[in-house]
Structure 1
Amino acid sequence: MKIAILGATGWIGGAILKEALSRGHQVTALVRDPSKLSATDVAVHAVDLEQPLVAQTFAGVDVVIAAVGGRAQQNHDLVASTVQHLLDVLPNAKVPRLLWVGGAGSLEVAPGVTLVSSPDFPAAYKDEALAQGEALQVFRAAQTAINWTFVSPAAEIYPGESEGPYRLGGDSFFTDANGRSRISVTDYAKAMLDEAEQGTHANQRISVAY
Structure 2
Amino acid sequence: MNIVLYGASGMIGSRVLTELVQRGHKVTAVVRDPSRVPSGSAVTVVKGDMTDAADVAAKLKGADAVISAYSPGAGTESLLLSATHALINGARQAGVKRVLVVGGAGSLFVAPGISLIDSGHLPEEYKAIAIAHADALDILRNAASDLEWTYLSPAAFIQPGERTGTFRLGTDSLLADAQGNSRISAEDYAIALVDELEHPQHIRQRFTAAY
TM-score (norm: length of structure 2): 0.94
Which residue is equivalent to 1:160? Answer: 161
1:4 maps to what in 2?
A: 4
Alignment of 1:41-80 (within 5 A): 41=41, 42-54=43-55, 55-71=57-73, 74-80=75-81
4+ residue segments displaced more than 4 Å: none
Aligned mates of 1:116, 1:19 — CA distance in 2: 30
Does the alignment pair 1:24 with 2:24?
yes
CA deviation after TM superposition for structure 1 residue 144, in Å:
3.5
Residues 63 and 96 in structure 2, CA contact (< 8 A), matched pair in contact too: yes
Give, as a single letter, the amino acid of the residue that structure 2 aligns with 1:8. Answer: A
Structure 1 residue aligned with 2:90: 89
Distance 1:175 1:32 in 2: 34
Q: Give me the whole-angstrom Cα distance separating, in 2, the residues matched to 1:37 and 1:166.
A: 28
Checking the alignment, whether the CA contact within 8 Å between 2:38 and 2:45 is kept in structure 1 is: no
Partners of 1:2 and 1:26 within 8 A in 2: yes
Give the structure 2 partner of residue 192 of structure 1: 193
Q: In structure 1, what residue type is equivalent to 2:64?
A: D
- Which one-letter code corresponds to 1:121 in the other structure? L
**Residues 53 and 86 of structure 1 are in contact (CA less than 8 Å); yes or no, is this contact kept in structure 2?**
no
Could you tell me which amino acid in structure 1 is paired with residue 58 of structure 2? Answer: Q
Identity %: 45
Q: Which residue of 2 aligns with 1:173?
A: 174
- Tell me how many residue pairs correspond in the alignment: 209
Q: What TM-score comes out, normalization by structure 1 length?
A: 0.95
Partner of 1:103: 104
Deviation at 1:52, TM superposition (A): 4.3
Q: Which runs of 5+ in 2 are unaligned?
A: none
Deviations 1:141-181 (A, max 9, x none): 11542100000000010111223411110111121122111
Counterpart Cα distance in 2 of 1:173 and 1:60: 36
C-alpha RMSD of the superposition = 1.3
- Structure 1 unpaired stretches of 5+: none
